[in-house]
Amino acid sequence: MIPRELIKGTLKYMVLHLLRTLPKMYGYEITQVLDEKSSGRIKLTFAALYPVLHKLEADGLLRTETENVNNRIRKYYSLTPKGKKESDSRMSELREYIDLMKNLFY
Amino acid sequence: MAFLNKDQIDFIRNDLKKRTLSRSFLFNEWVDHVCCDVETMMNRGLSFEDAYGQISRERSDIDISTAHRDVQQFLNHRYVGIKKLLLFAFLLFAASWIINLLGIGSWIGLVAFIILGTVYLRIAIDFLRKRHIRKGNTWLSVLAGLSFVGTLSGILLIFLSRNFGFSTRGHGVDLTVFGWFFFSLLCLIYYMGEFKSAIEPVEIRKMRWLGCLSGFNLLLAAVSIATFPLYHLVKNYLFFLILFILGFDLLVLVILLLTRSMKNTLAVSLILGSFMIVFIHSHFRTKLPGGKPKLYELTLQVSPDPSWSSDRIYISMYYENFADRPITLPLMKMDDNLFGITMPSYAYRGYLFYGIATDSTGAVEYFRSASSIDSVLLKIPNKKIYQLQ
């Protein structure tokens, strides 16, 4: 399992990156995709994911739409144009940081 | 793929309602999240009862409480500055009427309105930043911007007129009321939008109430604007309109406090702004220390005239462009042929004399027939002596 602190610090990047690749996603879907892509090493709780989603929405990086799916209300998140730009710039920052970490430790 | 049916979803929703924060804005997402979890388990072969039982044991109810608290915390933090500014503006405003040490009451009042204008500007910027989230936000930003311009320019004109003799032709009042009108319109559009998109019954009721409140405020602002061109028809009823608006605003403030709805920044800005704007145009302000205007003395010296044996003379005046609506005021005898009157600094600025007589009804007639005096521009605060031949 990946330590909580590391996940917490990079969750925003993960969400922005996922939404850059898919047009829209709902909260549970994000947890499942991250779980699958990390082979079960990143397991997000409701309390960890939703504040991040709502903060990104409040910052204007995400927009939401509500749909009635299978008899229940589902909220979908997608990137705004500002969110797309932010995602691109944050990803290049993250890559640079990862490279730096690699150089530091290996 | 297994999907929950309506009864199963209702069962989960009702069970979660009993155990968790059903009034949280995250509740629907929480229900969907748990339902998805249950469906995943059912797809692995578990029955609904077993799947939900396992999820209930594994998923802590604290999850939604923690998430709710975290989201609420940063959302509140975003507006905490605005709320502090609003409270500060209102306290300054109240202080400006109660305390008037060294005559600085009007300056404190001006600062209070500048802060209120800043709040409107901050809201305009916030809506502009969120324009990509909802298309209508650009228009809401424009309305908040107009409120800012109306309130700030209006209060500056009123301040300059009352303290420095700046001729504003009453436009200061118009602009502040228009500012209030635009902000009411903004609140109505915003809360109706929130009402349409609200899902929770509690939220629906709250947004409906705030929408109605904004709509009623818009109506009051529109009625106030309608009194400008109809002033001479409705001037006797203005007191009651102002009294009603101020009473209504105070009542709503109490309700917002009691129902713990002060976190609705727009509604609070609307009510406080409406109260402040209407109060400065009311007669109540003159009853308070900070509302008493500076007084100036107008003195007229008249030539001896046998027909003027009275201890008072009357002066008929009209306000700049309103020659058909003169007012007649008495001037008391001060000395032999010297008559005087004390006027508020702003009340009669910009008026033109055009008649003086020994009785109130004859003032117009007297000088209309006299060719030597046509009209004299009254420039208060200058103390002047007019020699009438």
Q: Do B30 and B165 belong to one domain?
A: no
8 Å CB contact of A73 and B5? no
**Which residues are CB-neighbours of B183 under 8 A, at least 6 positions away?**
B120, B143, B144, B147, B269, B270, B273
Which of A47, A58, A70 lies nearest to residue B4, judging by beta carbons?
A70
Residue B166 pLDDT > 80, yes or no? Answer: no
Q: H/E element holding B312? A: strand B312-319
pLDDT in tens, B368-382: 444 444 334 443 334
Q: Do B101 and B24 belong to one domain?
A: no
Alpha helices of B227-362 — where are they, by DSSP H?
A: 231-234, 238-258, 265-280
Domain tally, chain B: 3
Tell me the C-alpha distance between B158 and B114, whole Å. Answer: 13
pLDDT in tens, B233-285: 888 888 899 999 999 999 999 988 887 777 788 888 899 999 988 988 887 77
8 Å CB contact of A72 and B63? no
Residue B125 pLDDT > 70, yes or no? Answer: yes
Q: Do B234 and B306 belong to one domain?
A: no
Q: Which among B312, B289, B292, B277 has a CA at the least distance from the CA of B120? A: B277
Q: Do B155 and B216 belong to one domain?
A: yes
Residue B350 pLDDT > 80, yes or no? Answer: no
Distance from CA of B2 to the nearest CA of A (A): 11
Q: Return the higher-pLDDT residue of A29 and B68.
A: A29
Which of B9, B30, B132 lies nearest to residue A71, judging by beta carbons?
B9
Among B275, B291, B307, give the residue marking a domain's end.
B291
- Could you tell me the end-to-end alpha-carbon distance of chain B, in angstroms, rounded to an integer? 105
Confidence of residue B389 (pLDDT cuts 50, 70, 90): very low
8 Å CB contact of B66 and A54? no
Average pLDDT over residues A38-52: 87
Q: What is the CA radius of gyration of chain B?
A: 31
The amino acid occupying position B88 is F
Q: Do B224 and B127 belong to one domain?
A: yes
Q: Do B221 and B236 belong to one domain?
A: yes
Q: Do B244 and B305 belong to one domain?
A: no
Residue B53 structural domain: 6-59
Q: Do B195 and B236 belong to one domain?
A: yes
Contacts of B71 in chain A (CB under 8 A): 50-51, 54-55
Residue B325: inside a domain: yes
8 Å CB contact of A75 and B28? yes
For A56-82, b/e burial (b = at least 16 CB within 10 A) is bbebbbbbeeeeeeeebebbbbebbeb
Residue B10: inside a domain: yes
8 Å CB contact of A63 and B132? yes
Point out the least confidently predicted range of B119-123, B156-160, B247-251. B156-160
DSSP letter for B103, please: G
Q: Do B39 and B112 belong to one domain?
A: no
Q: Which among B302, B300, B307, B304 has a CA at the least distance from the CA of B342? A: B300
The CATH number of residue B304's host domain is 2.60.40
Concatenated DSSP letters for B273-308? HHHHHHHHTSGGGGGSGGGPPPEEEEEEEE---TT-
Residue B70: inside a domain: no
Residue B66: inside a domain: no
Are the beta carbons of B320 and B311 closer than 8 angstroms? Answer: no
| pTM of the predicted model as reported, rounded to 2 decimal places | 0.60
Tell me the C-alpha distance between B179 and B23, whole Å. Answer: 35
Q: Which residue of A has its CA nearest to B37?
A: A28
Beta bridge partners of B386: B300
Among B226, B261, B291, give the residue marking a domain's end.
B291
Distance from CA of A24 to the nearest CA of B (A): 14
**Segment 84-103 of chain A within 8 Å of chain B by CB:** none
Distance from CA of B159 to the nearest CA of A (A): 38
Residue B191: inside a domain: yes
Q: Do B315 and B223 belong to one domain?
A: no
- Strand ranges of the sheet holding B351-357, from the earlier edge strand across to the other edge: B376-377, B351-357, B312-319, B322-335, B338-344, B295-302, B385-388
Q: What is the ipTM of this complex?
A: 0.89
- Which domains occur in chain A, in start order? 4-105 (1.10.10.10)
Confidence of residue B346 (pLDDT cuts 50, 70, 90): low
pLDDT at A45: 84
Residue B73: inside a domain: no
Point out the least confidently predicted range of A16-25, A40-49, B149-158. A40-49
Q: Do B89 and B192 belong to one domain?
A: yes
Confidence of residue B147 (pLDDT cuts 50, 70, 90): very high
Residue B239: inside a domain: yes
Q: Distance of alpha carbon B301 from its chain centroid, rounded?
A: 45
pLDDT at B340: 79
Tell me the C-alpha distance between B386 and B380, whole Å. Answer: 13
Q: Which among B191, B95, B186, B110 has a CA at the least distance from the CA of B151? A: B110
Residue B1: inside a domain: no
Q: Do B285 and B144 belong to one domain?
A: yes
Q: Which residue of A has its CA nearest to B127?
A: A60
